[in-house]
Amino acid sequence: MDIRRIMTPVVSTIGEDATVVEAARAMRELRVGDLIVVEEEGGKKRPKGILTDRDIVTHVVAQAADELRRLKVGDVVLTSELVTALPREPIEDVLRRMRGRSIRRVPVVDEVGALIGIVTLDDIIGHLASMLDDAAGTIRSQKARVGA
């Protein structure tokens, strides 16, 4: 199955020049735990990194308040090499890369690298749980027909 079937096509984004305070406010207003840091190029958004609420808490809050007012999103994004997925990639391949890099979120990009969605570990687990429920239902219905 393709990632496209379980990805979320509406992605919350922010530019690298936004302040961390602006990012935190956006996360609060949008009720999200991450923002994809993008660069606009030719009318398309290209992902450059991911800023998570955890990044803000573990790497920013310890700094003095005056410094926070000047701190930019690009200063905080810790993604050294952003992991992305293509919409037709098998879920298993993306999950394997997520596990290998210990990440929970992957931006989905088109063939030219433009952002088209995001897939999270929660999306994949939800999909797998649904598949297991379908398999269990099949077993139950077979047992009912046989009278077991």
Instruction: Give CA separation, 31 vs 9, 25, 34, 144, in Å.
Output: 16, 10, 9, 44
Contact criterion met (CB below 8 Å) for 7 and 91: no
What does the pLDDT read at residue 112? 95
Q: Which helix (H) or strand (E) holds 20?
A: helix 20-30
pLDDT tens for each residue of the chain, 148 residues long: 899 999 999 999 999 999 999 999 999 999 999 999 999 999 999 999 999 998 888 887 766 667 777 888 888 776 668 999 999 999 999 999 999 998 999 999 999 999 999 999 999 999 999 989 988 888 888 777 776 5
What does the pLDDT read at residue 49? 94
What does the pLDDT read at residue 76? 78
DSSP state of 45: E
Q: Which residue's entry shows tokens 């997925």?
A: 85
CATH number for the segment(s) 3-146: 3.10.580.10
What does the pLDDT read at residue 64? 66
What does the pLDDT read at residue 1? 84
Radius of gyration, CA atoms only, the chain: 19
